[in-house]
Amino acid sequence: MNNQAACAQWQDSSNPVVTVSGLTKAYTGGKTVLHDVALSILPGECLGVVGESGSGKSTLARCILTLDPFDQGELRLDGQSIRGLKRSELKRIRSRLGAVFQHPSAALNPRLTILQSLLEPLDQLKCYVPSFMAGMPSGRRNIAEQLLGMVKLPASYLDKFPHQLSGGEKQRVTIARAISTEPDFIVLDEPTASLDVTTQATVLNLLKDLQDELRLAYLFISHDLAAAHFMSDRIMVMKDGRVLEHFSKESLFHSDRHPYTQSLLEVFSTCCLPTEPILL
């Protein structure tokens, strides 16, 4: 089955939040880093993308977030192609996207308080008031307090600076920022890779809870097959910029998995691949 067909078999009557078809990208010098990539993500669904470093996972994420251009193919966000969009239209679409990256310290301005960092995305939208503030005072601090509460952090953190928070706490702040504009879709690019094991579990559980509560669609990028299996409804395996296979998480252990996927599986025993929430 080719890549386009593999993507098509997962689509149903719902309208995908993100659709990628035939996406190809080469860097200056001619090296192609993405080859004919196709995927589709439905509302409330998580697609896990796994592969070793250099497989093209993060480049794919940057293309979907419209941070990097691509050479061929099509990207549709909420059914709308981004090709030829005016800057104002692209800005509107970007407000429906969120992102959480590997290093929270790099995502937070050290000179801004947590309150200021939390409200940066909303400040770009002028008078936008999130729907989760319905029936509540909608002042800036009230919104920031609500966002911190959604990621299980106390309101007292609003006046702190990033260096005063632990790595896990900073990542919670970046998650709160990502959901502040009420996006339909969030890219999670190695969101727990820089955290210790216990904190990883806490953050993964939080992301799961927010997905259920807000019906978020996720693209979960990881080199960690255990984390991807826990988070995802479907898994896509990439190597050298190509999609090797695309399957439901339940079929991860099928004997017909690609040899490269089987090599990733050898790193983890079955007990390391949780299917239920991780209890702390």
- pLDDT score, position 268: 64
User: Is the residue at 88 inside a domain?
Assistant: no
Q: Look at residues 76, 92, 91, 74 and name the one whose alpha carbon lies nearest to residue 22.
A: 74
What type of residue is 24?
Answer: T
User: Is the residue at 36 inside a domain?
Assistant: no
- pLDDT score, position 95: 83
- pLDDT score, position 136: 76
User: Is the residue at 158 inside a domain?
Assistant: yes
What's the rounded Cα separation, in Å, for the pair 6 and 181?
32
- pLDDT score, position 18: 95
Does the pLDDT at position 270 exceed 50? no
- For 241, the 3-state DSSP assignment is coil
What type of residue is 41?
Answer: I
Calculate mean pLDDT across residues 262-268: 82
User: Is the residue at 253 inside a domain?
Assistant: no
- pLDDT score, position 272: 53
Does the pLDDT at position 143 exceed 80? yes
What's the rounded Cα separation, in Å, for the pair 195 and 156?
23
Element (H, E) at 170: helix 167-179
Calculate mean pLDDT across residues 258-265: 91
The pLDDT > 70 percentage for the chain reads 91
User: Is the residue at 113 inside a domain?
Assistant: yes
What's the number of domains the chain is made of? 1
User: What pLDDT digit, counting tens, does each position of 203-241 carry?
Assistant: 999 999 999 999 999 999 998 888 999 999 999 999 999
Does the pLDDT at position 7 exceed 50? no
What's the rounded Cα separation, in Å, for the pair 63 and 79?
16
CB 149 within 8 A of CB 87: no
User: Is the residue at 264 inside a domain?
Assistant: no
What's the rounded Cα separation, in Å, for the pair 186 and 96?
9
Write down the mean pLDDT value for the chain.
88
User: Is the residue at 38 inside a domain?
Assistant: no
**Residue 125 — very low, low, confident or very high, per pLDDT cuts 50/70/90?**
confident
- For 126, the 3-state DSSP assignment is coil
User: Is the residue at 139 inside a domain?
Assistant: yes
> Token pair of 137, please?
């005072």
Burial 201-225, CB ≥16 within 10 A → b, else e? bbbbbbbbebbeebebbbbbbbbbb
- pLDDT score, position 231: 96
**Residue 134 — very low, low, confident or very high, per pLDDT cuts 50/70/90?**
confident
CB 187 within 8 A of CB 98: yes
User: What pLDDT digit, counting tens, does each position of 73-86 carry?
Assistant: 999 998 889 888 88
Parent domain of 163? 108-182
Calculate mean pLDDT across residues 46-71: 94
